[in-house]
Structure 1
Amino acid sequence: MLLGIIADDFTGASDIANTIAKGLPGQGGLRTAQFLGVPDRPAPSSIEAGVVALKTRSVPAAEAVAQSLRALEWLQAQGCRQIVFKYCSTFDSTPEGNIGPVGEALAAALGVRGIIACPAFPTMGRTVHQGHLFVRGRLLSESGMENHPLTPMTDPDLRRWLGRQCKSAVGLVPAEVVRLGAGAVRAALEASASRGDVLVIADAATDADLLVLGTAAAEAPLVTGGSGIALGLSANFIARGEAKGGEVDYVPVDGPEAILAGSCSGATLGQVELHAQAHPTFRVDADAVMRGAVTPAEVAAFLLDRTGEAPLAYSSSPPEVISAIQALYGRETVSQRIEGFFADVAVALRKGGLRRLVVAGGETSSAVAQALDFGALAIGPEIDPGVPILTDADHSIALALKSGNFGAPDFFGKALRTMEQP
């Protein structure tokens, strides 16, 4: 294995796995697999890039560090030449962590400083300028992320936000340096390292900027960022003759289908509203879940009885509704109960013969993927930017794990159709 990725949630893992497997046009990417948690056995020898999907975005920082270091140890044992710590392109974290603590712990384990930290993903409107994160032209703190139920992002200054989490100072490679090319970026990173900066925010507003950063990081033991930071990493290994590149292989999957949506993002709310106009839906009321008035078996039965109609079960609600439920029962309690509820629904669906499953929401996807426990997942075609199809080893099921803010308005139907196509 050449490239190892540690992702802090399951949808983010799929996102960056898609970027690495797809590679650059005309060149292709690396043979990539996504692992659900730290594996307990060696990876197949054919795999060139392994993505270890963890659920560490919203756990206590010490636990996130411990899990990430275990993932690092396994990836090193597979022979990885470079490690990527992948987090969300909206930098989802609290003032305490977990991006800073995990990034510093990985850097310490690898004995490096002056490490790129760049969440930019221009294709999805995430750009970084002078260390500030923008979402579709608006500051992060005005993008809707300030209302996130678990990690409200109220400060767009990534150096300041990360500085609250880190023991060391946080550096910056500004846009004017990035535009000078990879050599200038490497010099800036070395200067930051000499000052003792472990993590260094790098500006990026275009894919061209990300390719410059990728070239600058060709020999770096550690890189951190969103999936965009991996845009040019496959090409580095191909250029050195260590990998051949190539297109993604995919075996179509058809049969019984269902959609589960637990995200409360604006994009998912719109996707739910559009899909519900022409397909059967089951609204999973959060208060009813907390009171035990609705069961996973009830929801699974509804969905299985309507296969062939692209049925949807969702708990997605506007922020003010979720806030009221959290005030009543507690934020963490509500989150864990809803995630566990959808995980139980997914297990019941699988037992009922489900073959195609779409899940919306990072935390929901993590809970579902852990409950289904597939081990290694192969990376298939991209449905929408950042969201590929995933399949298990024997192609018995196809999954789409979608971050809340990703996907076109018709994503749900498109995902199910794409799974059936060669």
Structure 2
Amino acid sequence: MALKKKPVTGMKDILPAEMQIRDYVLNQIKETYRGFGFSAIETPCVEHIENLLSKQGGDNEKLIFKILKRGEKLNIETAETENDLADGGLRYDLTLPLSRYYSNNSANLPSPFKALQVGSVWRADRPQKGRFRQFVQCDIDILGDATNQAEIELILATTTALKKICPDNSFEVRVNDRKLLRAMAVYSGFPEEDIDKVFITVDKMDKIGTDGVKAELMENGYSEETADKYLELMGQATNDASGVRRMGEILAGVLEDGAAENLAQIMETVGDVSDGSFKLAFDPTLVRGMGYYTGTIFEVSMEGFGGSVAGGGRYDKMIGKFTGMDTPACGFSIGFERIVTILLDNGFTVPGGNEKEAWLFEKGMSSEKLASIMKEAMTARKEGKIVLVAQMNKNKKFQKEQLGKEGYSEFKEFYKEDLKH
């Protein structure tokens, strides 16, 4: 039987032309984040299954690629559930691994700690354009800072990176706060213990609309009056800082003191520093699917691309699940694959870069002449040029066309009889 040559569903082979764009985007992101004082770290791609199933990841916990126990630990006969067979899984995001990492290494890290992490994550999701089962995330997180300076820095750093990569695309940062959402739900009459379940439904707003959310809430056993009150409340505030303060007034007595003012201050400071170079809006429908968010949440949407291209928020309770002591934490993740998809769709080419030359030599070239060509190529490389030395194919025109797709713009040809360029 022939081996399968196509990659596993939801994963893809990356050709050189796309890889060049991916490398460029990653370099731009890392360079920007380092400029804001973030330090690069790395965590393993495999996490303990107990951590992954700790009810922190929302619907993503249903999408885990689980890893079977090995050797004597794998006992199929005595297993009662699927989880009895697995002791690890591929990480579905970088935030949970970062929390474990910080819990294990905080004694050797500064406080607050500004982490930069880039790596692949895996979700057994339904593949579609811009959505894969294996994809790269680019995260920045600030751990140990309880003030809204963390949110302000994260928004400014992320938008600076996006403006660098996609200077011609306008984008909007939408913000909300889980404390506001929780207060809205209580104010509307949802039971306190059901609020996380309500959030999972409300998070589908952009996919199923207001009517769909209302229908699903009622299917889940909530009254039409409660659903209507919640959805009407969402439409009562403007999308600026004054709208946040207005929502705070409506929810007075239910909302935690200072929560609305905190979000309003973030919006005003970011607006002042950024000089209006991007849209910033309060969005009371914004939920973010992860169960670990405790405060401010944010997403970035970009013109010409459905869905968000970056998102994040505050998760002050997660590290405490490892250490027993809550630690302030806030992060922002760029949807790397979605950004690359936008650039590919727009026919993006990497700006600048070193000159790329392809030196093609005729088949049967003597070893002496070939050595001379190789020496000359080494000299050119020392001068900063990118030089590919390869044997000339029979169909030289097609060979050049293929090399041209990889960015080679200059060609030299070498023949057995006389070295001619």
Higher RCO by CA contacts (8 Å cutoff, separation 6 or greater): 1
- Report the TM-score, using the length of structure 2 for normalisation: 0.24
When Rg is computed on C-alpha atoms for both structures, the one with the higher figure is 2
- Report the TM-score, using the length of structure 1 for normalisation: 0.24
